[in-house]
Amino acid sequence: MAHDSSSEDGERPTKAQRSASDADVSAAVASASAASAEWAATLENCIPAIVALRVSSVRPSELDGAGVSWGTGFVVDAEKGFLLTNRHVVGTGPVRILATFDQHEELDIDLVYRDPLHDFAVLRFDPSALFLTRKQVALPLAPAELRVGAEVRVIGNDDGEKLQILQGTIARVDRNAPDYSDGVGDENTFYAGCGSNCSGGASGSPVVNIRGEVVAILAGGSNSSSSDFFLPLDRVHYAVEHLMRQEPVPRGTVRVRFLFETWAQLKRLGFPESRRDLLLKENLGLRGLLVVERALESSVAQSAVAAGDVLLGLRIHESASGAPGGGAKKEVPVQTFTDLESALDAAVGRSVKLLLVRGGDAIDVGPVLIEDLFALSPSGILECGSGVFQDIPYSTARASQLPLGSGVLAAECGFVFGPKVPDQSIITDVAGRPINSVRELAELLPTIEEGAYFEVRYIVKGKNATRKQCKMLKMQRLFAHLALCHERQTDRGVLKWERVEVPFVESASPPQQPSPQAGSNGGALDGRRTRKAPTLARIIFRTPCELATDIIMDKQESSGSKTVERAGVGFLERPGVVVTDRHAVPQPLGDVEVTFNQEVTVQARVLFIHPEHNLVLLQVPPLPEELHTVAWLHAKPDDAGTAHTHLEPGTSLQFVGLDACGHEVVRRVSVASLSLPPPQAAMPSGPPRFAERNCEILDLAEPLPTRWSGLLLHDDGSIAAFYALFACQMPNGTRGTRSGGIPREALLQLMQVDDACKTVPALGVELEEITVAALRHERGFDRLQATVPVEGEANGAAAAQAPPTLSEWKPSRPVVLCVARVEKGGPADGTLREGDVLVRAAGSYVRDGVLALSSRASPGRPLALQVFRSGAVASLELVPSADGSDGAERVAIWHGLVCVHTPRALRRAGIVPKSILEAACSDGAGDFPGVYVVRVCYGAPGQSTGMSARNFLLEVDGRPIRCLDDLPPAPATPSPGALGADVRVRVVDHIGREGMQTLRPDPVFWPLIELHRQSDGSWTRLLPSGTAGAESARDQP
């Protein structure tokens, strides 16, 4: 530490010294106060020119995925309404931008210019639409004022705050462009460095000096330090001046990336000291020169320049050919990036020779054509389902060392490409054809037949371009709607996107299913069996993530995955019908493939999803007789003449199934227990999904490995249970998995389901088990004296019977059935109560569990019940309902909100709001009224305004919404590509809290789309009438 000299001698400072010191402090304080006042005045003048930008990327792009993000912009011309921001804020794909000005005024603004190389963009707004914010406030651009040591302020929308002001000091102005982790960076420009410690949302903020001049734009920062990167304004000022004059902005390139290197590095590269001294004599402040890093793959410059070449200047030819003697030439010295870009931008379309120093020798190379950067930048995209493809951008070609025009970039692969091809890959070949542009891909994809597999070759971005990978993908037209989007410039000079649906080419005949051949499945399992095992099958289910209406998602799927995939096992229940579980096929909407014997795969459709049990029926094409080993569900008498009717702990069974890879496995197992799954104790954080109920589940004493599934068989070959996987909803809303056996009695109920009858009886209650001990000692069953009639018995209820006794009852297990939950509006509502213990059904004791009880119920036929309630017995009558297949049969995507009719799981959980239930009582329609928002799509109008999923829609612009038919189509817009007027949406959440939200319709990218399930199980996709390509897509049998 440095000390005052008087302190070193141990003496106190004199009064004069103290006075001088105090004067210095006062002067410093006064100076700081004056500076603070000057800064305060500067900031007061600047703030009205700062705007917060909310950018809705309606489709993914090279720079980012679809979604809503925040950034900052600032006014540079108040009269014409020009704003500046970063290119990465607005992205390179279609966007909708909302600007919030100083006085909280909001305006939709347009993009007028996106630089093809550097990180800046120019936006435009209508100044006449502002009535509170101070007009005629614009920030002047001062590129020359960016200096080391300058004190600056960064004014912007920092980390989601509408306005924050951060201070800093310029540390350097000659750093090379930063290399970002996504590989999409800047090039051929300096960046300035500063420690202002900005965060998300500040991108695009102006960096102003104390005079209120903008000296740079905040463009990025370091994740490992507080350093921020500022983009200098040389090319920004150049572009803005051209736009103000309503002139095109020429931007040129020779497809070479240069770096700035210091004299020390140049010496190591062999740059002569004599030449260095000559350059320093002319410019003493010169700190280095530009050096070739690399040229773009397959460019003309690639064969002319080499890494390490030092650039001295350019010899520009008046003609494009650059032939010797062919026109005038002009030599331009190049010492900085500003010199380089000024020369290239002024000579677009001409040829140039590069004046270099290589290994100490002066050379010139070329000629090289100065190309138009805009011509090398893609201006269109191809949508394939939720996937987006575009021509290879310049920055991607540079990062991956690929030639431009050698494939297409999969900004996001979506449903068809996504499961096997990573996002940001370069697609080079599809179905055996080279693909060099999105136009070629748009011509090829519509010709691929529904359900057909096709080959795709691709390169992973940033990896070795010589190593292509190959995958086989499946065309699913229902989820692969095609559209070409193109960006064009309007008469006003703004950039607008147009979108045209691309229809599929109809095939002459539907695709043929492969003919299954007999395999080795079946045969004796051990010496006591001669019957073949039922035909087992491996099931694969896939659906787009945004259409996962009835699926319990895991964390990865909930955080942006585009495809939900499930796998499981099924068995042939009867010819053409396969039984599987809801873990494998969780909903009707999706692609289902069934593979037999690991030899043949066929397409399947969902025939029926059991509304209460973990069972699904699939319809498959006819199979050859050799594969018609159907399930043997009925019990067969053994040698003693006794049929297998009950499973007890210790019962020995044979497991025949498939492992996680689809290989057949056989194992001897025994029953450990048989019990009802307990009711869900706590409401999960996510929306309730299907949970198994009213079915005793079998657990094994010898747990099988994870993901094994199949059949549990008696020794005679008859089925004891289907050992299935169960998807469980955890308290945090994510997916868990368990295994268990579904007894034969539940499978027998499915045998009644066919094309003519697709319903099962339902009592409208969830049952749980209580022990006989609890029944006797806690509920007082032993003190039962007489039957006490209940209200309603006089209206035709069954006559009271003698009081039951446990000696007569004799449950098969020491448990009885108790009502845990009564479904609101169901057949038991008003008849049964929570806590009722079921004693008799149809005159017989309920001894053998809930499945035996269900077998006595028939839809529409009164069922006499006797229950133990509040210390007495009551006789009741209940009319079971007929429940159809579970899962959404109709889906609407309205302004990006994925809507379905109120799911059955919500009704059973008792969380349907009162207003929806009241509508149900007054509505005679077959569908349960109420429209439920399952998901909000990324980049949709609903996400832009903060609408949430897991809400019910009540009204739209005052119009009641009771079913999907009530959803209004997107309104007409005043001009093509424009947004519609705001729509008011009244919503209500699970617990009845109502709210009013708004959204801005976007009929170009978010028209009303509906998916309908037909009677044969197929799905049809419908677009609103009048939409280009509005013909429906239908999945084939």
Q: What was the pLDDT predicted at 627?
A: 63
Q: Express each pLDDT in 53-89 by its tens digit.
A: 999 999 988 878 888 999 999 999 999 999 999 999 9
Q: Which residue has the higher pLDDT, 12 or 510?
A: 510
Tell whether the model's pLDDT for residue 1031 goes beyond 50: no
Helix (H) or strand (E) holding 439: helix 438-444
Q: Select the more confidently predicted residue: 748 or 261.
A: 261
More confident residue, 992 or 356: 356
Cα 194 to Cα 200: distance, rounded to the nearest angstrom: 16
Q: What is the pLDDT of residue 239?
A: 95
Instruction: Specify the DSSP element, H or E, that contains 881.
Output: strand 881-884
Residue 377 has pLDDT above 50, yes or no: yes
pLDDT, residue 13, reads 46
Separation between Cα atoms, residue 290 and residue 311, nearest integer Å = 6
The distance in angstroms from the start CA to the end CA of the chain is 85
Q: Examine the pLDDT at 8 and tell me if it is beyond 50.
A: no
581: nearest Cα among 504, 658, 506: 658
User: What is the amino acid identity at position 311?
Assistant: L
Tokens of residue 466, six digits? 């010589």
Q: pLDDT at position 314, please?
A: 93
388 touches 59 (CB < 8 A): yes
Please compute the mean of the pLDDT values over residues 567-585 and round it to a whole number: 92
Q: What is the pLDDT of residue 77?
A: 94
Per-residue pLDDT band for 779 (boundaries 50, 70, 90) equals: confident
Higher pLDDT, 257 or 624: 257
Which band of pLDDT confidence, cut at 50, 70 and 90, is reported for residue 977?
Answer: low
H-assigned helices in 455-564:
555-558
| Mean pLDDT within 316-327 | 62
Predicted pLDDT at 516: 46
Q: Residue 711 corresponds to which tokens in the numbers above?
A: 């059949």
What pLDDT does residue 527 have? 34
Q: Looking at residues 648-653, what average pLDDT do you find?
A: 91
pLDDT of residue 793 exceeding 80: no
Res 605: pLDDT: 94
* Tally of CB atoms within 10 A around 455: 13
Is residue 617 scored above 70 in pLDDT? yes
pTM recorded for the entire structure? 0.86
- Per-residue confidence band for 29, with pLDDT thresholds at 50, 70 and 90: very low
The 10s digit of each residue's pLDDT in 462-507 is 666 668 899 999 999 999 889 999 988 887 788 889 899 999 988 6
> Above 50 in pLDDT, residue 876?
yes
pLDDT digits (tens, 9 = 90+) for 175-207: 898 887 666 678 899 999 887 666 666 889 999
Of the pLDDT bands very low, low, confident and very high (cuts 50, 70, 90), residue 399 is confident
Angle (nearest 5°) at CA 486 between 480 and 492: 145
- Per-residue confidence (pLDDT) for residue 406, from 0 to 100: 87
Q: Which of 218-232, 327-341, 685-699 has the lowest mean pLDDT?
A: 218-232
Q: How far is CA 750 from CA 536, 572, 656, in A?
A: 17, 13, 21
* pLDDT higher than 70, residue 802: no
Q: Which of 124-128, 233-237, 556-560, 832-836 has the lowest mean pLDDT?
A: 556-560
For the ranges 276-285, 512-521, 731-740, the one whose mean pLDDT is highest: 276-285
CA 765 to the chain's CA centroid: 36
- pLDDT, residue 609, reads 95
Phi then psi dihedrals of residue 437, to 5 deg? -155, 165
pLDDT of residue 15: 46
Mean pLDDT of 593-608: 91
What does the alpha-carbon distance between residue 482 and residue 813 come to, in Å, rounded to a whole number? 59
Question: Quick one: average pLDDT of 794-820?
Answer: 74
Q: Residue 795 above 50 pLDDT?
A: no
Look at strands 206-208 and 151-156 and give their pairing: antiparallel
- Decide: 443 and 437 in contact? Cβ < 8 Å: no
pLDDT band, residue 104 (cuts 50/70/90): confident
279: confidence class by pLDDT, cuts 50, 70, 90: very high
Residue 508 has a pLDDT of 57
Q: What is the mean pLDDT of residues 579-601?
A: 92
Q: According to the model, what pLDDT value does residue 522 have? A: 40
Q: Is the pLDDT of residue 639 over 50?
A: no
Share of the chain above pLDDT 90, in %: 47
Say if residue 907's pLDDT is above 50.
yes
Confidence label for 582 from pLDDT (cuts 50, 70 and 90): very high
Lowest mean pLDDT among 90-104, 246-260, 278-292, 797-811: 797-811
Whether 267 has a pLDDT exceeding 80, the answer reads yes
Q: What is the pLDDT of residues 841-863, one digit of tens each?
A: 988 899 888 888 888 888 889 99
pLDDT tens across 910-969, in order?
A: 778 877 766 655 544 444 678 999 999 999 999 988 888 889 999 999 999 989 999 988
Instruction: Give residue 677's pLDDT.
Output: 87
Mean pLDDT of all residues belonging to the chain: 83
Which range, 158-167, 557-566, 807-816, has the best average confidence (pLDDT)?
807-816
Compute the average pLDDT of residues 115-135: 89
pLDDT value at 731 more than 60: yes
Q: Decide if pLDDT at 317 tops 90.
A: no
Per-residue confidence band for 547, with pLDDT thresholds at 50, 70 and 90: very high
Question: Residue 524: which pLDDT band, with cuts at 50, 70 and 90?
Answer: very low
Q: Could you give the dihedral angle defined by the CA atoms of residues 447, 451, 456 and 462, in that order, rounded to the nearest 10 degrees?
A: 110
Check residue 806 and give its pLDDT: 83
Burial of 431 (0-12, 13-18, 19+ CB in 10 A): middle
What local confidence, expressed as pLDDT, does residue 510 receive?
A: 53
DSSP code for 324: T
pLDDT at 708: 93
pLDDT at 3 > cutoff 80: no
pLDDT score, position 575: 85
How confident is the model over 683-690, as a mean pLDDT?
70
Residue 630 has pLDDT above 80, yes or no: no
